C-alpha cells in the first residue's frame, strides 16, 4: 500500500523545470538569485513564456567587440533554445576545440563538407577579421605616440640649449682653466640624460595613475572587467630607452654648440 502511494506521488509530481544561467549584471539589475524561477519567451516566437530555474550566475568575459552593445546575456541548453525559438538543428555559429596535434585545416574542410553553406575559420583568422577596427585604432595610437616623441625631443633639446646658453660664462671659465672639451661635452650630455630619465620616470608614474583612473571610470560606466588603458612593463622599458636616447641626442647637440666655440667668445652675448 505504501509502495503504491509512493509510485502515485512520483507519477503525479510535476516535471523538473529546465535550467539557465544569468549574467551577473542582469541578476543584479532585476534582481535574481540561484533557485529563482523566471519565464522566458523569444521575441519572434508566439505562445506563453516558458518557466526556467536560475541554476547559476556567470560573469561575462571582457570582450571589446561587445562592449559597445552592452547587452544582458542568458545561457540555455541547446534543446531549450530550440524549443523557445521553434527552430531545430539550426545555429548561427559554434566553436570546436580540437585535440592536441589535430590538423585544423583537415577539420575545417570536413566541417564545410558536412553542412552546405558552412564556413569554418581558425581562431587566429577569426580574431584578425573581428579586430579590424582595433587595428585602425592601434595605428592611430602609434601616430599619436610618434608625434609625442618628436615633440618631447624638440622640447628636451630646447631645454638643454637654454640651460647651456645660460651657463656660457661658466663653461668659458672651465675651458680657460684647462678643462678639456671632452669633459665639458660629457658633463652636458650626462645632465641631459638625467633630465630625460627623470622625465621618463615621472611620465611612467603619471601614465599608471591615468590608466587606473580611466579603467575605474569606464568599468563603472559599462560594469565590466575590461581594461581600457594598460601600462605594461614593456611600455615602461620602451619609454625609458627612448628617454635615454633622446637625452643623449639632445645633450650632444647642445654641448656641440658650446665646445666648438673658442672659450674667449663664450662669454660674449
**Domain check: are 135 and 262 in the same one?**
yes
Burial of 264 (0-12, 13-18, 19+ CB in 10 A): exposed
| Average pLDDT value for residue range 216-236 | 82
103, 109, 112, 129, 260 from 117: Cα distances, Å? 21, 12, 7, 19, 75
> Do 23 and 124 fall into the same domain?
yes
Helices (H), 101-232: 104-114, 123-130, 132-166, 168-176, 181-222
Residues 6+ apart with CB under 8 A from 91: none
Please tell me whether residues 122 and 135 are part of one structural domain: no
**Domain co-membership, 70 together with 151:** no
Range of the domain at 208: 131-266
Highest mean pLDDT among 17-31, 38-52, 183-197: 17-31
Whole-number mean pLDDT of the chain?
78
Joined together, the cell numbers standing for residue 3 give 509502495
Claim to verify: residue 138 and residue 124 sit in the same structural domain: no
d(C-alpha 198, C-alpha 19), whole Å: 59
Alpha-carbon distance of 261 to 268, in angstroms, equals 11
**Where is the domain boundary, 89, 107, 128?**
128
Does the structure show a pLDDT above 70 at 140? yes
230 & 158 share domain? yes
Q: Which of 128, 150, 181 is the last residue of a domain?
A: 128
Length of the chain: 269
The answer to whether residues 17 and 124 belong to one domain is: yes
Region 37-46: mean pLDDT is 82
> Do 226 and 256 lie in a common domain?
yes
The mean pLDDT of 181-208, rounded to a whole number, is: 83
| Coil/strand/helix, residue 196 | helix
> Residue 263 has what pLDDT?
64
Examine the fold and report which residue of 108, 128, 148 is the final residue of a domain before the chain moves on: 128
Q: Model's pTM, two decimal places?
A: 0.60
What total number of domains does the chain contain? 2
pLDDT of residue 6: 44
Shared domain for 70 and 116, answered yes or no, is yes
For residue 268, the model assigns a pLDDT of: 56
Using DSSP, state whether 262 is helix, strand or coil.
Answer: coil
pLDDT category at 54 given cuts 50, 70, 90 is very high
pLDDT (0 to 100) of residue 130: 65
240 and 204 in a common domain:
yes
Amino acid at each position: 500500500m505504501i509502495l503504491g502511494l509512493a509510485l502515485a506521488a512520483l507519477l503525479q509530481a510535476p516535471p523538473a523545470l529546465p535550467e539557465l544561467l544569468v549574467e551577473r549584471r542582469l541578476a543584479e539589475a532585476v534582481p535574481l538569485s540561484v533557485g529563482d524561477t523566471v519565464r522566458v519567451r523569444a521575441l519572434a516566437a508566439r505562445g506563453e513564456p516558458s518557466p526556467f530555474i536560475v541554476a547559476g550566475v556567470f560573469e561575462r568575459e571582457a570582450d571589446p567587440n561587445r562592449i559597445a552593445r552592452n547587452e544582458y546575456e542568458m545561457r540555455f541548453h541547446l534543446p531549450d533554445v530550440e524549443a523557445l525559438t521553434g527552430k531545430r538543428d539550426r545555429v548561427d555559429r559554434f566553436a570546436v576545440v580540437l585535440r592536441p596535434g589535430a590538423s585544423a585545416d583537415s577539420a575545417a574542410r570536413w566541417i564545410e563538407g558536412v553542412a552546405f553553406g558552412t564556413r569554418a575559420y581558425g581562431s587566429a583568422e577569426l580574431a584578425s577579421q573581428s579586430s579590424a577596427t582595433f587595428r585602425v585604432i592601434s595605428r592611430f595610437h602609434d601616430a599619436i605616440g610618434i608625434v609625442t616623441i618628436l615633440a618631447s625631443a624638440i622640447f628636451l633639446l630646447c631645454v638643454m640649449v637654454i640651460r647651456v646658453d645660460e651657463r656660457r660664462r661658466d663653461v668659458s671659465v672651465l675651458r680657460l682653466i684647462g678643462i678639456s672639451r671632452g669633459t665639458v661635452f660629457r658633463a652636458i650630455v650626462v645632465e641631459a640624460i638625467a633630465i630625460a630619465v627623470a622625465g621618463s620616470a615621472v611620465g611612467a608614474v603619471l601614465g599608471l595613475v591615468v590608466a587606473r583612473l580611466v579603467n575605474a571610470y569606464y568599468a563603472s560606466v559599462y560594469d565590466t572587467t575590461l581594461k581600457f588603458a594598460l601600462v605594461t612593463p614593456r611600455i615602461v622599458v620602451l619609454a625609458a630607452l627612448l628617454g635615454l636616447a633622446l637625452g643623449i641626442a639632445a645633450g650632444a647637440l647642445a654641448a656641440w654648440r658650446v665646445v666648438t666655440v673658442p672659450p674667449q667668445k663664450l662669454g660674449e652675448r
